[in-house]
């Protein structure tokens, strides 16, 4: 087997990832992807046949990554509120290293029913177990009087909303993902602190 093969296939995939993340499916052009990868654009079709096929590879990859977001640290034996804090912070940091994923998924999902269904089918099974596990912990803590009652889905959505839009705002105001300024970093650490505080306060009895 040749090595060029795996190499250029990966080159194309990397370029596709970069451009699809920025522009979405309809905004990205296969010729731009080929150019970015430094290859003849026929090669793109040779390896991936269609634009949609190439896109799906990127999309599924990123969807998986997004789901890992909520690999909550609930199997540790830390106090509940500590686990929540850690969940929020690691979710925030995860987005920090993958800042374009949430908007990428949302963009396709709101404008494309197939993608919407795909994500729902992927998310529901996983989310269900996470949410039920969370419900148990919440009930326990509510019983102990440590926290006030909350629906697991609300808690998760609150965390995701605050964290995701913190980064979207950072991309818009500070051009995050392309530049990195002190102001940006200050903004992000302020948001991180804020998000933890807001969620923890919302759980107070």
Tokens linked to 78: 């830390």
Binding site partner of 46, from DNA, a copy of itself, none, Cβ cut-off 5-8 A by kind: DNA
Q: Cβ distance 84 to 195 under 8 Å?
A: no
* 79 vs 205 by CB, closer to a copy of itself: 205
Q: Cβ distance 138 to 149 under 8 Å?
A: yes
What's the closest the beta carbon of residue 105 comes to a copy of itself, in angstroms?
10
Binding site partner of 120, from DNA, a copy of itself, none, Cβ cut-off 5-8 A by kind: a copy of itself
What's the closest the beta carbon of residue 33 comes to a copy of itself, in angstroms?
14
Three-state secondary-structure class, residue 173: helix
Give yes or no for residue 28 binding DNA (CB under 7 A): yes
Give the integer Cα–Cα distance in Å for 140 and 146.
Answer: 9
* 22 vs 89 by CB, closer to a copy of itself: 22
Conformation bin of residue 112: beta by default, left when phi > 0, alpha when psi is -120 to 50: beta
Binding site partner of 3, from DNA, a copy of itself, none, Cβ cut-off 5-8 A by kind: DNA
Interface residues with a copy of itself (CB under 8 A) are 22-27, 100, 103, 106-107, 109-111, 113, 116, 119-120, 150-151, 154, 157-158, 160-162, 164-166, 168-169, 171-173, 175, 190-191, 194, 197-199, 201-202, 204
Name the H helices within the chain.
Answer: 4-27, 30-37, 41-48, 51-68, 80-97, 101-111, 113-144, 152-174, 182-203
> Using CB under 7 A as the criterion, what x/- string covers residues 42-81 for binding DNA?
xx-xx--xxxx-----------------------------
Binding site partner of 62, from DNA, a copy of itself, none, Cβ cut-off 5-8 A by kind: none
Return the sign of the alpha-carbon dihedral for residues 54, 59, 65, 67. negative
* 5 vs 202 by CB, closer to DNA: 5
What's the closest the beta carbon of residue 99 comes to a copy of itself, in angstroms?
10
Q: How many residues does the chain have?
A: 205
E strands present in the chain: none
Number of residues that bind DNA (CB under 7 A): 23
Give the integer Cα–Cα distance in Å for 157 and 153.
Answer: 6
Q: Which residues pair with 50 in a beta bridge?
A: none
Of the candidates 65, 91, 72, the one whose C-alpha atom is nearest the C-alpha of residue 130 is: 72
Give yes or no for residue 114 binding DNA (CB under 7 A): no
């Amino acid at each position: 087997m040749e090595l060029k093969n795996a190499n250029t296939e990966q080159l194309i995939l990397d370029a596709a990832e970069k451009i699809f993340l920025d522009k979405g499916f309809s905004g990205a052009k296969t010729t731009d992807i080929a150019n970015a990868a430094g290859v003849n654009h026929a090669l793109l079709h040779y390896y991936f046949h269609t634009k949609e096929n190439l896109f799906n590879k990127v999309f599924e990859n990123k969807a998986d990554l997004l789901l890992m977001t909520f690999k909550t640290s609930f199997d540790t034996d830390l106090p509940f509120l500590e686990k929540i804090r850690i969940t929020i912070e690691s979710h925030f940091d995860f987005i920090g290293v993958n800042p374009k994923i949430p908007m990428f998924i949302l963009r396709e999902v709101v404008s494309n029913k197939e993608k919407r269904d795909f994500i729902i089918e992927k998310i529901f099974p996983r989310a269900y177990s996470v949410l039920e596990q969370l419900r148990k912990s919440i009930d326990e803590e509510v019983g102990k009087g440590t926290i006030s009652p909350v629906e697991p889905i609300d808690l998760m959505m609150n965390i995701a909303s605050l964290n995701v839009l913190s980064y979207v705002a950072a991309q818009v105001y500070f051009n995050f993902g392309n530049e990195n300024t002190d102001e940006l970093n200050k903004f992000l650490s302020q948001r991180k602190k804020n998000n933890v505080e807001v969620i923890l306060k919302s759980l107070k009895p």
